[in-house]
């Protein structure tokens, strides 16, 4: 990183694609569940199931930990307590954020193809930057990316538009030329608030049916993304 590419040949004028990470590119649920359950076990609490964790992911690790504790007894009674629990979770998680995880089908092939077409590629995630980079490096996606925005890169998390606008600014593209791909309503809402188009995936981790996100397109797998991009409305602002 950064990946240098020619100008995108998208006939509709889009120049960059920003992907969510957890639940969109990588099935990271096993590592998240393992780390949560390690902290819960240390406090004598029951384990949370994969199904429970799936419904907790998407709003950053602090919220993830708070939801796990609320589901297994009393929620943390102070912000200081929550910060301490989050630090313990992070210690477990960052020791090996890749173990048990896997790319969703065709992820590497689709990203390589899009980069070859000239799209600038990036990741915008609520996961902290360091474990995000570890995951992307371990799955050999990092060389394909021009920008990675973690949950601690900007002051605000998704769905705030700031992480998306930060990425567009680093890519030197107007927001109208950027498409966001994600599995959460946070991705779609954040994209729209930033003036970007959004493509939702029907798999991943969400508490809301993806058809209700309000995205410009909905796909069942990343293999369908090139067709979805071709079907998006032409951008009205073509910038360098």
SS (H, E, C) the chain: CCCCCCCCCCCCCCCEEEECCECCCEECHHHHHHHHHHHHHHCCCCCCCHHHHHCCCCCCHHHHHHHHHHHCCCCCCCHHHHHHHHHHHHHHHHHCCCCCCEECCCHHHHHHHHHHCCCEEEEECCCCHHHHHHHHHHCCCHHHCCEEECCCCCCCCCCCCHHHHHHHHHHCCCHHHEEEEECCHHHHHHHHHCCCEEEEECCCCCCCCHHHCCCCEEECCHHHHHHHHHHCCCCCCCCC
Per the residue annotation, which of 10, 20, 22, 183 is the catalytic one? 20
Residue 187: active-site member: no
Cβ-Cβ contacts under 8 Å for 203 (sequence gap 6 or more): 23, 104, 183, 220, 221
Give the residue numbers marked as catalytic.
20
């Amino acid at each position: 990183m950064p990946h240098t590419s020619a100008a995108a040949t998208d006939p509709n004028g889009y120049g960059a694609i920003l992907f969510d990470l957890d639940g969109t590119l990588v099935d990271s649920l096993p590592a998240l569940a393992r780390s949560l359950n390690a902290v819960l076990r240390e406090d004598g609490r029951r384990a949370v199931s994969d199904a429970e964790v799936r419904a907790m992911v998407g709003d950053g690790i602090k919220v993830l930990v708070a939801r796990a504790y609320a589901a297994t007894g009393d929620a943390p009674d102070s912000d200081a307590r929550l910060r301490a629990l989050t630090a313990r979770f992070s210690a477990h998680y960052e020791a090996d954020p890749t173990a048990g995880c896997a790319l969703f089908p065709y992820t590497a092939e689709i990203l390589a193809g899009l980069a070859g077409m000239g799209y600038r590629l990036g990741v915008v995630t609520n996961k902290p930057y360091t474990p995000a980079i570890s995951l992307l490096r371990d799955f050999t996606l990092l060389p394909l990316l021009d920008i990675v925005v973690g949950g601690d890169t900007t002051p605000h998390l998704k769905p705030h538009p700031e992480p998306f606008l930060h990425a567009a600014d680093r890519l030197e593209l107007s927001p109208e030329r950027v498409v966001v791909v994600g599995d959460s309503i946070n991705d779609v809402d954040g994209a729209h608030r930033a003036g970007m188009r959004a493509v939702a995936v029907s798999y991943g981790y969400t508490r809301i049916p993806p058809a209700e996100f309000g995205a410009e397109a909905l796909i069942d797998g990343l293999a369908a993304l090139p067709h979805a991009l071709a079907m998006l409305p032409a951008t009205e602002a073509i910038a360098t």
